[in-house]
Protein backbone atom coordinates (compact mmCIF):
# COMPACT_ATOMS: atom_id res chain seq x y z
CA UNK A 1 0.00 0.00 0.00
CA UNK A 2 1.25 3.44 -0.88
CA UNK A 3 0.67 6.18 1.64
CA UNK A 4 -0.70 9.54 0.49
CA UNK A 5 2.53 11.31 1.43
CA UNK A 6 4.84 8.92 -0.40
CA UNK A 7 6.08 10.40 -3.69
CA UNK A 8 4.79 8.71 -6.85
CA UNK A 9 7.53 6.84 -8.75
CA UNK A 10 8.67 8.25 -12.05
CA UNK A 11 6.57 7.06 -15.01
CA UNK A 12 9.61 5.65 -16.79
CA UNK A 13 10.47 3.53 -13.78
CA UNK A 14 6.87 2.31 -13.58
CA UNK A 15 7.00 1.46 -17.28
CA UNK A 16 10.28 -0.45 -17.02
CA UNK A 17 10.08 -2.27 -13.70
CA UNK A 18 6.50 -1.68 -12.50
CA UNK A 19 5.22 -0.29 -9.23
CA UNK A 20 6.51 -3.30 -7.32
CA UNK A 21 9.94 -4.32 -8.76
CA UNK A 22 10.11 -7.57 -6.75
CA UNK A 23 6.80 -8.79 -8.19
CA UNK A 24 7.90 -7.72 -11.69
CA UNK A 25 11.14 -9.65 -11.29
CA UNK A 26 9.25 -12.73 -10.13
CA UNK A 27 6.83 -12.46 -13.07
CA UNK A 28 9.74 -12.10 -15.51
CA UNK A 29 11.45 -15.16 -14.01
CA UNK A 30 8.26 -17.26 -14.24
CA UNK A 31 7.72 -16.10 -17.83
CA UNK A 32 11.33 -16.91 -18.72
CA UNK A 33 11.17 -20.41 -17.23
CA UNK A 34 7.78 -21.08 -18.88
CA UNK A 35 9.10 -19.97 -22.29
CA UNK A 36 12.27 -22.05 -21.87
CA UNK A 37 10.38 -25.23 -20.94
CA UNK A 38 7.71 -24.69 -23.62
CA UNK A 39 10.04 -23.98 -26.51
CA UNK A 40 12.75 -26.43 -25.46
CA UNK A 41 10.71 -29.51 -24.57
CA UNK A 42 7.14 -29.07 -25.84
CA UNK A 43 6.81 -26.80 -28.88
CA UNK A 44 9.98 -26.72 -30.91
CA UNK A 45 10.09 -23.63 -33.16
CA UNK A 46 11.20 -24.38 -36.72
CA UNK A 47 11.67 -22.56 -40.00
CA UNK A 48 10.62 -24.59 -43.02
CA UNK A 49 13.14 -24.58 -45.85
CA UNK A 50 12.70 -26.20 -49.24
CA UNK A 51 9.85 -27.01 -51.57
CA UNK A 52 9.13 -30.65 -50.78
CA UNK A 53 5.97 -29.87 -48.77
CA UNK A 54 4.39 -27.51 -51.31
CA UNK A 55 1.59 -26.45 -51.46
CA UNK A 56 0.81 -27.32 -47.82
CA UNK A 57 3.86 -25.53 -46.43
CA UNK A 58 5.94 -22.91 -48.17
CA UNK A 59 9.62 -22.12 -48.05
CA UNK A 60 10.67 -19.93 -45.05
CA UNK A 61 7.38 -20.50 -43.22
CA UNK A 62 7.60 -20.55 -39.41
CA UNK A 63 5.97 -23.37 -37.46
CA UNK A 64 6.30 -25.44 -34.29
CA UNK A 65 6.77 -29.14 -33.69
CA UNK A 66 4.61 -30.56 -30.93
CA UNK A 67 6.92 -32.98 -29.12
CA UNK A 68 4.12 -34.31 -26.91
CA UNK A 69 1.82 -35.25 -29.83
CA UNK A 70 2.73 -38.93 -29.67
CA UNK A 71 2.81 -39.33 -25.92
CA UNK A 72 -0.57 -41.10 -25.76
CA UNK A 73 -0.87 -42.55 -29.26
CA UNK A 74 1.35 -43.54 -32.15
CA UNK A 75 1.71 -41.47 -35.35
CA UNK A 76 -1.24 -41.69 -37.74
CA UNK A 77 -1.46 -41.73 -41.52
CA UNK A 78 -1.67 -38.17 -42.87
CA UNK A 79 0.23 -36.61 -39.95
CA UNK A 80 2.95 -34.16 -40.90
CA UNK A 81 5.94 -35.00 -38.75
CA UNK A 82 9.50 -33.91 -38.24
CA UNK A 83 12.18 -36.56 -38.58
CA UNK A 84 15.59 -35.98 -37.05
CA UNK A 85 18.87 -36.76 -38.77
CA UNK A 86 21.77 -37.26 -36.32
CA UNK A 87 20.98 -37.13 -32.61
CA UNK A 88 22.55 -34.25 -30.72
CA UNK A 89 24.14 -34.69 -27.28
CA UNK A 90 22.19 -34.14 -24.07
CA UNK A 91 18.98 -32.14 -24.10
CA UNK A 92 19.85 -30.19 -27.24
CA UNK A 93 17.33 -30.28 -30.07
CA UNK A 94 18.40 -31.26 -33.58
CA UNK A 95 19.51 -28.34 -35.73
CA UNK A 96 18.04 -29.78 -38.92
CA UNK A 97 15.05 -32.06 -39.41
CA UNK A 98 13.09 -33.43 -42.34
CA UNK A 99 9.44 -32.45 -42.45
CA UNK A 100 7.29 -35.07 -44.19
CA UNK A 101 3.82 -36.59 -44.25
CA UNK A 102 3.25 -40.15 -43.03
CA UNK A 103 1.57 -42.29 -45.68
CA UNK A 104 2.66 -45.78 -44.64
CA UNK A 105 2.27 -47.33 -41.19
CA UNK A 106 4.33 -50.17 -39.64
CA UNK A 107 3.91 -53.46 -41.50
CA UNK A 108 2.31 -51.84 -44.57
CA UNK A 109 3.63 -51.94 -48.11
CA UNK A 110 4.00 -48.64 -49.96
CA UNK A 111 4.33 -48.36 -53.73
CA UNK A 112 3.80 -45.70 -56.39
CA UNK A 113 1.89 -46.46 -59.56
CA UNK A 114 1.00 -43.84 -62.22
CA UNK A 115 1.89 -41.18 -59.68
CA UNK A 116 -0.50 -42.49 -57.03
CA UNK A 117 0.66 -43.77 -53.68
CA UNK A 118 -0.64 -47.27 -52.98
CA UNK A 119 -0.84 -48.89 -49.55
CA UNK A 120 -0.84 -52.69 -49.65
CA UNK A 121 -1.69 -52.36 -53.35
CA UNK A 122 -4.72 -50.07 -52.81
CA UNK A 123 -4.58 -46.44 -54.04
CA UNK A 124 -4.39 -43.90 -51.22
CA UNK A 125 -6.69 -40.87 -51.32
CA UNK A 126 -4.41 -37.86 -51.00
CA UNK A 127 -6.36 -34.59 -51.35
CA UNK A 128 -3.29 -32.61 -50.20
CA UNK A 129 -1.33 -33.56 -53.35
CA UNK A 130 -2.11 -30.87 -55.93
CA UNK A 131 0.71 -31.37 -58.43
CA UNK A 132 0.72 -33.90 -61.23
CA UNK A 133 2.98 -36.85 -60.63
CA UNK A 134 4.38 -39.70 -62.68
CA UNK A 135 6.17 -41.67 -59.97
CA UNK A 136 6.58 -45.41 -60.41
CA UNK A 137 8.19 -47.44 -57.69
CA UNK A 138 8.26 -51.03 -56.53
CA UNK A 139 6.52 -51.90 -53.23
CA UNK A 140 8.54 -51.18 -50.09
CA UNK A 141 7.63 -53.00 -46.90
CA UNK A 142 7.72 -50.99 -43.64
CA UNK A 143 9.20 -52.80 -40.65
CA UNK A 144 7.38 -53.07 -37.29
CA UNK A 145 8.86 -49.76 -36.12
CA UNK A 146 8.98 -47.93 -39.44
CA UNK A 147 6.74 -45.30 -41.03
CA UNK A 148 6.86 -44.33 -44.70
CA UNK A 149 7.17 -40.56 -45.03
CA UNK A 150 7.03 -38.42 -48.14
CA UNK A 151 6.51 -34.75 -49.05
CA UNK A 152 3.35 -33.33 -50.64
CA UNK A 153 5.19 -31.89 -53.65
CA UNK A 154 5.19 -34.81 -56.06
CA UNK A 155 6.12 -32.71 -59.09
CA UNK A 156 9.77 -33.34 -58.24
CA UNK A 157 11.54 -36.34 -59.73
CA UNK A 158 11.29 -39.42 -57.50
CA UNK A 159 15.06 -39.67 -57.02
CA UNK A 160 15.41 -36.01 -55.99
CA UNK A 161 12.61 -36.17 -53.44
CA UNK A 162 13.84 -37.24 -50.01
CA UNK A 163 11.43 -39.90 -48.81
CA UNK A 164 11.38 -43.37 -47.35
CA UNK A 165 11.03 -45.37 -44.17
CA UNK A 166 11.71 -43.54 -40.93
CA UNK A 167 12.31 -45.36 -37.66
CA UNK A 168 9.83 -44.46 -34.92
CA UNK A 169 12.57 -43.11 -32.64
CA UNK A 170 13.55 -40.60 -35.32
CA UNK A 171 10.07 -39.04 -35.39
CA UNK A 172 10.31 -36.08 -33.04
CA UNK A 173 6.76 -34.79 -33.17
CA UNK A 174 3.85 -33.52 -35.19
CA UNK A 175 3.59 -30.13 -36.86
CA UNK A 176 1.54 -27.86 -34.63
CA UNK A 177 -0.02 -25.46 -37.16
Partner 1 sequence: MKTAFRLAFLAAAAVLGFWLWTIFFPGPEKLVLRKISSLATTATFSASDSNITRAAKAGNLVGYFTTDAQIIFDAPGQAARTLSGRDEIREAAYGGFASLPALKVQFLDVTVRIGTDKQTADVNCTARVMAGDSKDYGVQEMHFQLKKVDGSWLISRAETVKTLS
Using alpha carbons, select from 102, 110, 104, 117 the residue that is nearest to residue 171.
102
Q: Annotated catalytic residue: which of 22, 95, 100, 155? A: 100
CA-to-CA separations, 96 to 2, 92, 99, 129, 137, in angstroms, rounded: 53, 12, 10, 24, 28
Among 40, 54, 94, 105, binds partner 1 (CB under 8 A): 94
Nearer to partner 1, 23 or 41 (CB): 41
Residues 136 to 155: which contact partner 1 by CB under 8 A?
Answer: 146, 149
Nearer to partner 1, 71 or 92 (CB): 92
Does the annotation mark 132 as catalytic? Answer: no
Among 85, 130, 134, 137, binds partner 1 (CB under 8 A): 85
> What residues form DSSP beta bridges with 66?
43, 174
Element (H, E) at 99: strand 97-104
92 binds partner 1 (CB under 8 A): yes
Residues 4 to 33: which contact partner 1 by CB under 8 A?
Answer: none
Q: Residue 138 and residue 34: Cα distance in Å, rounded? A: 48
Does the annotation mark 52 as catalytic? Answer: yes
Q: Least CB distance from residue 31 to partner 1, whole Å?
A: 29
Among 42, 165, 168, 176, binds partner 1 (CB under 8 A): 165
Strand 43-47 relative to strand 122-123, pairing: unpaired
CA-to-CA separations, 80 to 75, 103, 113, 168, 175, in angstroms, rounded: 9, 10, 22, 14, 6
155 Ramachandran zone, left/alpha/beta (phi>0; psi -120 to 50): alpha
Nearer to partner 1, 106 or 164 (CB): 164
Residues in the site for partner 1, rule: CB under 8 A? 83, 85-89, 92, 94-96, 98, 100, 146, 149, 157, 159-166, 170
Q: Which residues are the active-site residues?
A: 52, 100
Amino acid sequence: MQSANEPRPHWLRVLLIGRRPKVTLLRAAVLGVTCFVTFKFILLPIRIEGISMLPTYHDHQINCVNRLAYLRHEPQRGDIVSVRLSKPEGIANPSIMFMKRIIGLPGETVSFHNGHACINGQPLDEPYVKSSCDWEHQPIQCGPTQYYVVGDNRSMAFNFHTQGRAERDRIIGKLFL
